[in-house]
Structure 1
Amino acid sequence: MSELTAPTGQEPALRAVPRADGSAPLALVLGGTGYIGGRLVPRLRGAGYRVRVLARDPARLAAFPWGGDVEVVAGSADDAAAMAEAVRGVDVLYYLVHSMAAGPGFDTADLRAAETVADAAAAASVRRLVYLGGLHPAGGDLSPHLRSRVAVGEVFLRSAVPTLVLQAGVVIGSGSASFEMVRHLTEVLPYMPAPRWVRNRIQPISVRDVLYYLLSAARVDADVNLAVDIGGPDVLRYGQMMNGYAVEAGLPQRAIASLPVFTPGLASHWVNLVTPIPRAIARPLVASLQNECVMDDHAIDDLIPLPEGGLMPYRRAVALALGRVAADDVETSWQDAEVLGAPSDPLPSDPEWAGRTVYVDERSALTSAAPERLWAVIAGIGGENGWYSTPVLWAVRGWMDKVAGGVGLARGRRSRSRVSVGDVIDFWRVETVEEGQVLRLRAEMKVPGQAWLELRATAADGGSRYDQRAVFFPRGLAGRLYWLAVLPFHGFVFRGMANRIIATAEAEAAGAPAAGRRKSA
């Protein structure tokens, strides 16, 4: 079974057990539009469950591919009337609601919502309640966020509904707030002055394994009512997690200095300054890191067997979150990264600060030239035909690449008019060809990151539409500085390219000579 798609819910051990009448059991997900919930719902459906989702704003479900395949109840967890409707006929209830970014009084709101849900579930004779809580040390002074999650778990454990509380620490997957903090801190800072908590031990767990445990929790024995720790196979210090990320991302190891001057409040300001994570999210994350988050016991192993192939190691989880193909470690194209379907892939509803940093330059225009004429110009780009913009800048970029040990512009292209996947075009390689429509080139020049250029022709009223997109995934601070350095030239290069490609297509459609191509190269 591929690590990219596990768990899909198709393993026999995760399949739903039909009701006595043979019908599929009903799962209610609270927090279905959140990070974990949005990934759990399709796996529940794949395992044979009917799924109902409680949502404050049902319109948000339209962002999910499965949004039209679930029952929806409008409301919130602290609304007794909405909960009474939501739990009707439910077999298993998943509580994935957390007040991560809430202000003062969030702990009281958390308790009120948990009590409302527990009462409603008991009244409806729900068979199983599953709560995803936070991994924490036994005893000791916990952060307000962790204390609240422990208190919510205790409400459910005291209820009349058999409850399994799964206590997880740092979840590794694109979009997870904890992972995004690791990602952005590591990529932006080659040297990091850090609080003492970088030396604390943490037991991260991949989102794949969290989903596996959540699915499995629906099938534990009916008399199980307890809280258990879950974690991956690696116990690391936070600094080791950052450097493990650096290795998988192709970055140098980061120098990390532990300083005693960072209070949780100051550290959250620092995280907010150097990453896109909002301070309202950064503060509870940082506060929780004051505690070591390591499993105190392995009682989970007596309830749920390990997933096929074992728990995922930290660095493999990072590689998955970065969009690498687990089977052969070949990096995907930027387009593939959006459709892999792995549990760690971004979802449309994930916050804007989630996922890798991507810089994009987009140009679009309508032209009177027919799509096939526009495509002919696109398919012939580069080599002797040139790049249709500011020849001096292209020549300088090719020379710089050559000096840096790259291939430069000397490779040309095999054919002036035909293009195939795998072809070389100067310092690009053809990654995708959709004949008559799309040409995608992957950069083979020396750059601190990954770059693509996509050119597209589509039919439009009376002619065609030209779309041009340059995509850059920066690697570390150097990649971000590189993009900022070349940004002023994009107006000359990319705008000029779009204008001249359209002009050439229109001129050739009118029967004018195409000699202007080489002049612009």
Structure 2
Amino acid sequence: MAHIAVTGATGYIGGRLVPQLLKAGHTVRVLTRRAESLRDVPWRDDVEVLEGSLDELESAQALCQDVHVVYFLVHSMSGGRDFAATDKRCAEAVGQAAAESGVRSIVYLSGLHPEGQLSPHLQSRVEVGEILEASAVPTLTLQAGLVIGSGSASFEMIRHLTDVLPAMPSPQWVLNRVQPIAVRDALHYLAHAAELRLSESRRCDIGGPNVHTYAQLMKLYARSAGLREPAVIPLPVLTPWLAAQWVNLVTPIPRSLAIPLVQSLQHDCVVKERGIDELIPPPEDGLTDYETAVELALDKMSADRVETTWAGAHPLEVPSEPLPSDPDWAGRTVLMDQREASTTASPEAVFSVVEGIGGEKGYFSLSKAWRLRGVADKLVGGVGLGRGRRSKEVLQLGDAVDWWRVESLEPGRLLRLRAEMKMPGQAWLEFSVSPDGDGAVLAQRAIFFPSGLGGRAYWLALAPFHAVIFRKMVARLTAEAESRRRTGQGET
């Protein structure tokens, strides 16, 4: 097994590669500007963490000392106009430090690109590879196009554009050809690269099994996500700069990242040779096609598990899901209304009130509005409020509560209800109770995963009502618990 140093461990690929290397039995050292940024990742306690800046030689030397393989996975594309100069300094420092320390090999993830003039982003990727190769340390450069997984910038751009827009005025480059690769396959090649004994530097293209146009990628995404395929309308007048402003406007991807990303889409990005197969065989079950990669990124199998969307899934098993170190704009759109209230009532008293919600007791706020929404749901073929409850006082996992279903239940602490009404998205209502001195705190969340532009419009239209309903709900739930405390009900 090898001693490995990983740069870019807080990034999309690096954060998913580290646990793969650990699983293979390697020891791992990472370098980050702020160790705090790795606090919540699942593998934090299994690696050595150094704090420093990669463009400083001293930090690079500390990283490379006594290691066999260095992974260069940093890219400063979102760091402003000087990203190319920053990456050059980092590559020079790592190359020098690796050569001085006798590192066996460098593994570098670059971009898939054609010959000829390139965008600043892709040109920077090529220059970094040349600098690393010039270090005299054998360097394996893996050249990938779009990496498909929740959190990757390319996939998030496709996701958010397709989710929001039923029709897209687009530049001519939407007809360019691209060969995306699933994040699990990119990690397969990267992880196995640690085992190679290179005598000289190599450059290898990596990509999935199929070639598509960008327009096809958006339509295939819509199909996998259960959305109507968007009408993609190529416009010859939409320059890369204007297209980047459009991406920045309708997606959460920041402008500093959108501009270089869109500029890089001007080229066909397809695999020209499969020399990688001589070094690292493909995965045993074959390369993942784009549609499957999208479904893995959307995690359809666990779409009703709220935690998997904003908490880090274990990356050893599902590298396509978000990690705590991913940027804020990564992952599906989540809309929430969050409320909290303190009370002198005990946690048991508060939870007993929460557990009795719905049915004849209603929802402690604007009962007429709830009934009206139930009627509307019935009119469009939903279940409405007529199902009521199995028991007036207690719940079991899987119980129906009007148009809700009990999805998670931890007696005395947590109740999560999943909506089964007709709506353009998925919704949950969650209550959690925690002790607070002699009393308790009730945290209430209404959670919504919108589907397409209609889902966002739906949430926006209801936002004024939510502001009243959910504010009153949390206040009246705790008030009811305090009333029970005074009368001796609900206490143990």
TM range, normalised to the smaller chain?
over 0.9
* 2:44 is equivalent to residue 67 of structure 1: yes
The corresponding residue for 1:35 is: 12
- How many Å apart are 1:272 and its aligned residue? 0.6
* 2:62 is equivalent to residue 90 of structure 1: no
* 2:160 is equivalent to residue 184 of structure 1: yes
Q: Which moved more, 1:151-160 or 1:488-497?
A: 151-160
* 2:429 is equivalent to residue 429 of structure 1: no
Partner Cα distance (1:509, 1:78) in 2:
61
The corresponding residue for 1:293 is: 269
Partner Cα distance (2:336, 2:47) in 1:
35
- How many Å apart are 1:420 and its aligned residue? 0.8
Partner Cα distance (1:107, 1:457) in 2:
50
- Pick one of 360, 373, 389 that aligns with 2:336: 360
Per-residue CA deviation, residues 212-240 of structure 1 (Å, 9 max, x unaligned), is 11111111233252100001112111111
The corresponding residue for 1:277 is: 253
Partner Cα distance (1:243, 1:175) in 2:
19
8 Å contact from structure 2 (residues 313, 322) kept in 1: no
- Cα distance, 1:513–1:117 mapped onto 2, change above 3 Å: closer
Q: Percent of pairs identical after alignment?
A: 54
8 Å contact from structure 1 (residues 323, 332) kept in 2: no
- How many Å apart are 1:150 and its aligned residue? 1.0
Per-residue CA deviation, residues 379-407 of structure 1 (Å, 9 max, x unaligned), is 11111121111111001110111111111
Letter in 1 for 2:105: R
- Cα distance, 1:59–1:339 mapped onto 2, change above 3 Å: closer
Find the residue that maps to 1:467 and give its secondary structure: strand
Letter in 2 for 1:332: D
The corresponding residue for 1:316 is: 292
The CA RMSD over aligned residues, in Å, is 1.7
1:170-209 to structure 2, matched below 5 A, reads 170-209=146-185
- Pick one of 502, 513, 516 that aligns with 2:478: 502
- How many Å apart are 1:105 and its aligned residue? 4.2
Please give the TM-score of this superposition, normalised by the length of structure 1.
0.90
Letter in 2 for 1:37: G
Letter in 2 for 1:54: L
* 2:101 is equivalent to residue 124 of structure 1: yes
8 Å contact from structure 1 (residues 201, 293) kept in 2: yes
Partner Cα distance (1:502, 1:110) in 2:
54
Partner Cα distance (2:34, 2:488) in 1:
57
Find the residue that maps to 1:220 and give its secondary structure: coil
- How many Å apart are 1:512 and its aligned residue? 8.3
Find the residue that maps to 1:242 and give its secondary structure: helix
The corresponding residue for 1:333 is: 305
8 Å contact from structure 2 (residues 312, 323) kept in 1: no
1:89-168 to structure 2, matched below 5 A, reads 89-137=66-114, 139-168=115-144
Find the residue that maps to 1:289 and give its secondary structure: helix
8 Å contact from structure 2 (residues 107, 139) kept in 1: yes
Find the residue that maps to 2:338 and give its secondary structure: strand
- Cα distance, 1:336–1:180 mapped onto 2, change above 3 Å: closer
The corresponding residue for 1:7 is: none
8 Å contact from structure 1 (residues 202, 292) kept in 2: yes
* 2:237 is equivalent to residue 265 of structure 1: no
- Cα distance, 1:426–1:134 mapped onto 2, change above 3 Å: same
Q: Which moved more, 1:86-95 or 1:33-42?
A: 33-42
- How many Å apart are 1:63 and its aligned residue? 3.6
- How many Å apart are 1:464 and its aligned residue? 1.9
- Cα distance, 1:301–1:492 mapped onto 2, change above 3 Å: same
Letter in 1 for 2:7: L
Partner Cα distance (1:418, 1:490) in 2:
26
- Cα distance, 1:106–1:335 mapped onto 2, change above 3 Å: closer
8 Å contact from structure 2 (residues 111, 125) kept in 1: yes
8 Å contact from structure 2 (residues 374, 385) kept in 1: yes
* 2:455 is equivalent to residue 455 of structure 1: no
Partner Cα distance (1:196, 1:35) in 2:
29
Find the residue that maps to 2:58 and give its secondary structure: helix
* 2:359 is equivalent to residue 383 of structure 1: yes
Letter in 1 for 2:403: F
Letter in 2 for 1:282: A
- Pick one of 482, 486, 489 that aligns with 2:458: 482
8 Å contact from structure 2 (residues 397, 409) kept in 1: yes
The corresponding residue for 2:374 is: 398
8 Å contact from structure 1 (residues 142, 288) kept in 2: yes
Unaligned runs of 5+ in 2: none
Partner Cα distance (2:88, 2:170) in 1:
33
- How many Å apart are 1:77 and its aligned residue? 2.5
Letter in 2 for 1:38: G
8 Å contact from structure 1 (residues 133, 168) kept in 2: yes
- How many Å apart are 1:378 and its aligned residue? 1.2
8 Å contact from structure 1 (residues 29, 96) kept in 2: yes
- How many Å apart are 1:195 and its aligned residue? 0.5
Q: How many residues align?
A: 486
Find the residue that maps to 1:261 and give its secondary structure: coil
